[in-house]
Structure 1
Amino acid sequence: MVATTQNDARHTALASEPRRRALALITGSAEPMGVGAVAEALGLHITTARFHLEQLEAAGLVERQVARAGQRGRPQVLFSAVAAPLPVETAQQQLAQALAAVISEDDDGGRARSVRAGERWSAQYADVADAVAPDTLDAPVATVMPPLLRVLTEIGFEPEVRPDETTIALTACPFRAEARENPGVVCSVHLGLIKGLVTSLGHDAEGIRLEPFVQPTLCLVHLPATLAN
């Protein structure tokens, strides 16, 4: 029997859509695959592909081997699947959908309580504020962006900063199925998470907006050009 901690690690790893795609690609390959091949097949930057493969490896879903072809230079690292992916809809997802459905029965569709839940969730990442040097607090957006991106990446949103430098594109969502079912609840939780993180960094989060599903797989986070201290 797989230990509970390993099951949790696998659920966490597979919460990211790019990681699910990478695992499916490797599982379906007749031969072990290198980072470059995975990056090209999925349209990812090689550094991003390497990050996802390392997360899958840490969860015990893929394993690496070194290809030694008798050539000079650094040997190529190849990955192969060692376990079948978990079912698409896990018991945790079913629970999340059930809770969201109940909360959505509030008069406001559950938005207020969901934002508060997201703000409480952000406390799990309170240590991001420690990475901000005190002498950078005069540039609010520049101060907020790095730790915010780090947390959103860790959760699995695959964030990308738009050219205006105040908009974050969430190109993946580990809760997409739940969000489509109850966007007022799930997306409000995500908004609360972002607001809570910004507040923990010493700024007023009132002007932050989350624009869900501007495209089928894209949501946008809008930060005010100037965040009040």
Structure 2
Amino acid sequence: MAAGYSAISSYSRVEIMHLVQQRPRRPIAELVEATGLHPNTVREHLQRLIDAGYVVAETEHRTTRGRPRVLYTAASGEDDASSPIAAQRARDAAVRGDLLRRVYPTGGRETLQPEALHQLDALVEDLGMAGFDPLVDETGLTVDLTPCPHATTTDHRGTLCRVHVGLMDGVLAQAGGPLRIDGIAPSCDPAHCVVQLSLQPAASSPTRSGRE
């Protein structure tokens, strides 16, 4: 696969990520059955996704005898699905973004509030680490990823795109703020990828991207 999220450079991890995005709190047995992979292989893939901040694990609470299972969920920024790795990465990106805006002031031309800017800081840094060169339009609320490094991937491209969109939305949610992914703009050229963002109603978030 071309440059992209190293954590999903394997289609097996893409498949696992897709499963936990579709439904939270998946046990190993379900993921093994759905993918046909060996349990140890699934555990290794899950650890890569946890280390990347895209998946969180929890031990189920049992009221009966037996060993409690470990359940896996896509990181979403919610209390029970917040990744400390992704949260710390978002905070660090916000600090660097604030510094850059002080060094290269825009003369008050920002169209977004600080929380939304911090979300974009986290998203751009995450995409940059993954090998993308995102172009952000703060006014139009778009992120242009053209040329898409996955454009030549013909097998499973639909699943890969859905997983990628879910990962980007997770980064925004972990950063805390009003921005969310609205979708990918339609195009007849598979290499052309523009992600549309939207501003959601203000709500409190357990994870803050900025400094206290």
TM-score category, normalised to shorter length: 0.3 to 0.5
TM-score, scaled relative to structure 1: 0.43
Structure whose CA Rg is larger: 1
Higher relative contact order (CA 8 A, sep 6+): 2
